[in-house]
Amino acid sequence: MSSLITIFLAGIMTENMVLSKFLGICSFLGVSQKVKTALSMSIAVIFVMFMSTAVTYPIYAYLLLPKDLDYLQTLVFILVIAALVQLIEIALKKLSQPIYSALGIYLPLITTNCIILGITLLNFTKDLSYVESLVNSLGAGAGYLVAMVIFAGVRGRIESCDIPERLQGLPITLISASIVSLSFLGFSGIVG
């Protein structure tokens, strides 16, 4: 049990996917102008990440590995994730209109988000069990949420600042991301 908590906390703090592993940078910089959209995007990512891990783990462990097909890992995983995102989108549209209207537009973006494929691949390089993988994906998702929400707050402040002309836009965004990332370095050594 304690190891599961460690995996979860490490995902948020020391091994934050966005700020220390650089996964999901596209959406981290692209969808973080407002706290509200950052929050919706993060919830969609957590949901898809958890589902993808739940589906890809058994496929790899019980289908690809016994048949010596593990070299197909990348190909199978990306197709499974793409199909899964489509299915989730269709299911949400039918089952829950409010959730769909809140998260719907973020779902297509998630297929090509490297954080999803990244976490499903990382689970195997780290040799995690099924339950540990699920917890790891939840932890990584929570870490993504924390990073997104903090950074959206930071960007909100930047907007009202007087920034040198050459640094406006993307450069200052990246430099402030660097400082947010620096603050997460402070967590190193706390967990794990």
Binding mask 110-139 vs another protein (x if CB under 8 A, - otherwise)?
A: -xxxx--xx--xx--x--------------
**Tokens linked to 11:** 């995902």
**Contact (Cβ atoms closer than 8 angstroms) between residue 119 and residue 136:** yes
Question: Quick one: which of 4, 25, 35, 149 contacts another protein (CB under 8 A)?
Answer: 25
Please choose, from the candidates 6, 45, 3, 53, the residue with its C-alpha nearest in 3D space to the C-alpha of residue 147: 45
Structure token pair of residue 34: 């407002």
Q: 7 or 18, CB closer to another protein?
A: 18
Letter string b/e over residues 23-36, b meaning 16 or more CB atoms within 10 A of that residue's CB: bbbebbbebbeebe
Nearest to 176 by CA among 38, 35, 32: 32
Amino acid identity of residue 125, one-letter, is: T
Among 39, 51, 64, 82, which residue sits at the site for another protein (rule: CB under 8 A)? 82
Q: Is 110 left (phi over 0), alpha (psi -120 to 50) or beta?
A: alpha
109 scored as a contact of another protein (CB under 8 A): yes
- Number of chain residues interacting with another protein (CB under 8 A): 49
Report which DSSP code applies to 62.
I
Contact region with another protein (CB under 8 A), list: 6-14, 27-35, 49-57, 94-102: 27-35
- Amino acid identity at 33: Q
In the bound state with another protein, the residue whose beta carbon lies nearer, of 4 and 29, is 29
| Pairwise CA distance, residues 83 & 27, whole Å | 20
Angle CA 109–112–115, to nearest 5: 100
- Return the residue of 20, 35, 54, 93 that touches another protein, per CB under 8 A: 20
- By CB under 8 A, which span of 44-52, 132-140, 141-149, 173-181 interacts with another protein? 173-181
Site for another protein contains 44 (CB under 8 A)? no
Q: Which of 6, 21, 132, 158 binds another protein (CB under 8 A)?
A: 21
Q: Is 174 in the site for another protein (CB under 8 A)?
A: yes
Binding site for another protein (CB under 8 A): 19-27, 29-31, 71-75, 78-79, 82, 105, 108-109, 111-114, 117-118, 121-122, 125, 166-175, 177-179, 181-182, 184-185
